[in-house]
Amino acid sequence: MIHERDFGRVGVFCGGTSSEREVSLASGSAVYDALISRGISAELIDTKKQNIIKVSENRIDRAIIMLHGRGGEDGAIQGLLEALNIPYTGSGIAACALALDKWRSKLIFEACDIPTPRFSSVTSVQELTDVVNNLGVPLIVKPSREGSTIGLTKILDQSEAQPAYELARQYDCSVIAEKFIEGDELTVAILNGKPLPVVRIVAPNNNYDYQAKYHSDETEYFCPSELGSSIDLRVQGVAMKAFKALGCAGWGRVDVMLDKAGVPWVLEVNTVPGMTKHSLVPMAAKATGINFEELVVAILGGNNVAQL
């Protein structure tokens, strides 16, 4: 761990141009306020509006990345910061690129015997129709390189294939179809090599979409999960295995479905998850006695691959 007195001036990178811009701005603002409250010199940097190279070279000693989605979780900002020799939080270039790409990350999960729902990459409505016939319904159709369930559709009938495919294609040329797992929706935050308590999510109509994540007052969160310690340990173990398989480091979050038989299925790894005071990582940290400000400092000073 790097002590906060050695952070220097911290750049909080947020905003950007991805479909998750608004969430990123909220995360960045919350993190910036936390740093200021700890007496740490910080600057809030909206990468859409500011010259990143100029600001970084002249005023930044260390970066905390709060850019969600493309430009922040795909290795792009990580590569730029490495070129500028500026240490940054979280996973490196390759791990970020793999984690954001759900199709390629799931190929790695399969190769490493990490349970993940059956899936297929699809390039046309006809291919998706074939996958519906093969995997059956319900089926999740989503852009391969998006987050926050943007562009995602749960289809219950073959007739829904075309609008689901067309919606996903609006956000990415790479579309993935994945078998829906009926059961408990869980997430495991990881902080500096250790899993935090499991969070269980109960969304309205069992649909944890963008509305349920960011706007609904009906979504319920349980941390501890109330599933029992043996199940929590199993889920945490699978989450850590997925995190390491992609080469991730520092901090992140792994989303998991627990089926009716108690089998955990990894959906995806998030290398820059939401960081408002109401987000899932702070919720898990709070359950261990780590408040939001302490969490931000732990992320910034953690043992990340990108500490140059």
Q: Which of 92, 253, 301, 304 is catalytic?
A: 253
Chain position carrying tokens 């007496």:
39
Residue type for position 221: Y
Q: Which of 74, 255, 279, 304 is catalytic?
A: 255
Q: Which of 15, 274, 301, 302 is catalytic?
A: 274
Q: Which residues have C-beta within 8 Å of that of residue 121, sequence separation ≥ 6? A: 103, 144, 174, 175, 176, 177
Chain position carrying tokens 């005023």:
59
119-122 and 175-179 as β-strands: parallel, antiparallel, unpaired? antiparallel
Assess whether 74 carries a catalytic annotation. no
Residue 298: which of 16, 243, 284 has the closest Cα? 284
Q: Which of 73, 101, 209, 268 is catalytic?
A: 268
Other CB atoms within 10 A of residue 109 CB: 24
Assess whether 85 carries a catalytic annotation. no
Q: Which of 270, 279, 301, 302 is catalytic?
A: 270
CA distance 160 to 153: 9
Assess whether 178 carries a catalytic annotation. no
Assess whether 4 carries a catalytic annotation. no
Assess whether 32 carries a catalytic annotation. no
Assess whether 255 carries a catalytic annotation. yes
Assess whether 127 carries a catalytic annotation. no
Q: Which of 91, 105, 148, 225 is catalytic?
A: 148
Q: Which of 11, 20, 75, 120 is catalytic?
A: 20
Q: Which of 38, 127, 214, 293 is catalytic?
A: 214
Assess whether 82 carries a catalytic annotation. no
Q: Which residue pairs from 76-80 have beta carbons closer than 8 angstroms and sit at least 24 positions apart in sequence? A: 77/13, 77/47, 77/52, 78/306, 80/52, 80/53, 80/56
Q: Which residues have C-beta within 8 Å of that of residue 87, sequence separation ≥ 6? A: 61, 62, 63, 81, 304, 306, 307, 308
Residue 242: which of 144, 152, 111 has the closest Cα? 111
Catalytic positions: 20, 148, 214, 253, 255, 268, 270, 274
